[in-house]
Amino acid sequence: MKLLIDKELNSSDKILKPDFNSRTGRELLVFYLQTKFRQIMSYDRRCSTPLFREINPEFINRFSKRLINTPNKHLLIGITGESACGKSTICKAIKHVIEELSMPVSVLSTDNYFNDISALIKKYGTFDNLRDNGYDVDAPESFQLEILKKDLVLLSEGYNIKAPMYLPNGTGVSVPNAQDVISRKIIVVEGIATMYDAVKDIFDVKIYVETENDIRKNRFMKRACEERNQSEDNALKHWNYIVNAGKKYVKPFRREADLVLNGNTDLNYFSQILEYIYTITNNFQ
């Protein structure tokens, strides 16, 4: 991929930057991007660990129409997948590239839209006790989906928002209006709630990250035991919960995804793809 980036930067065969305010200019840009996207796909298929597992056959045409017909609307990209599939890691790579290239991108996690369950945790003593008594933390009704929907619409229309913040300290506290999120040209939204029925149709690009269960389990157990100081028995109990919750609430949306990504791909390679996309969209004469 680095060779493609260098070739693009050093090429003397560049097109004149079109006028994106005109429909003709946007159509030219879309044709150009379609050509480059096919180039990325061709390169990716030859890799030992490809990034793209599946692409919805209707995605390119639908996305092209979106760019041509509603150019002023900010772009919403939703990234979902089962727990420990790699979606958060991919978003960290996106943040890193954003900082290096000063890309106009904002990143939002739907985990901050969990309901406030502090009263329930006080009642049952711990989150684990609450879970063991039947609280389904990954169910759609466990999220503030109406607030998330409202915030996504505002972001897509160019308005900044104040998102809630769910405290990851075991208290179950959700602080309203706690984080400033700037509406940049591209907004990446990560988390299992991105593809729930109440919000999924707002996104312009739907991405599903997929990783084999044994890899996910190893990641989850390491994170639970080494980073969160959970006992192995309790970590296994929660792993069994998230496997069942993933099958019930997350995996069904795989068939609706525009892109299915390999969550075990090399992150340097993923970062290079982002860099290439940035290069081709800013490398006009």
Exposed, middle or buried by CB within 10 Å (0-12, 13-18, 19+), for 240?
exposed
Closest CA to 264 of 223, 226, 214: 214
What per-residue confidence (pLDDT) applies to 268?
Answer: 86
- From first to last of its 285 residues, what are the pLDDT tens digits of the chain? 666 666 666 666 656 667 778 888 888 888 888 888 888 898 899 888 899 999 999 999 999 999 889 988 999 999 999 999 989 888 888 888 888 888 889 999 999 999 999 999 999 999 889 999 999 999 999 999 999 999 999 999 999 999 999 998 889 999 999 999 999 999 999 999 999 999 999 999 999 999 999 999 999 999 888 887 788 898 899 999 999 999 999 999 999 999 999 999 888 888 888 888 877 776 655
What per-residue confidence (pLDDT) applies to 142?
Answer: 97
Joined tokens for residue 249: 């609430």
What per-residue confidence (pLDDT) applies to 277?
Answer: 80
Chosen CATH of 52-264 out of 3.40.630.30, 3.40.50.300, 3.40.50.2300, 2.60.40.1220:
3.40.50.300
Domain segments of the chain as ranges:
1-51+267-285, 52-264
Cα 268 to Cα 33: distance, rounded to the nearest angstrom: 22
Residue 210 bridge partners (DSSP): 262
Q: What are phi and psi of 176, to 5 degrees?
A: -70, 150
Cβ-contact 172, 120 below 8 angstroms: yes
What per-residue confidence (pLDDT) applies to 58?
Answer: 93
What per-residue confidence (pLDDT) applies to 20?
Answer: 76
What per-residue confidence (pLDDT) applies to 4?
Answer: 61
Cβ-contact 203, 77 below 8 angstroms: yes
What per-residue confidence (pLDDT) applies to 230?
Answer: 84
What per-residue confidence (pLDDT) applies to 48?
Answer: 87
Cα 187 to Cα 76: distance, rounded to the nearest angstrom: 5
Q: What pairing do the DSSP bridges indicate for beta strands 161-166 and 75-80?
A: unpaired
What per-residue confidence (pLDDT) applies to 176?
Answer: 97
What per-residue confidence (pLDDT) applies to 170?
Answer: 84
What per-residue confidence (pLDDT) applies to 228?
Answer: 77
Task: Give the pTM.
Answer: 0.91
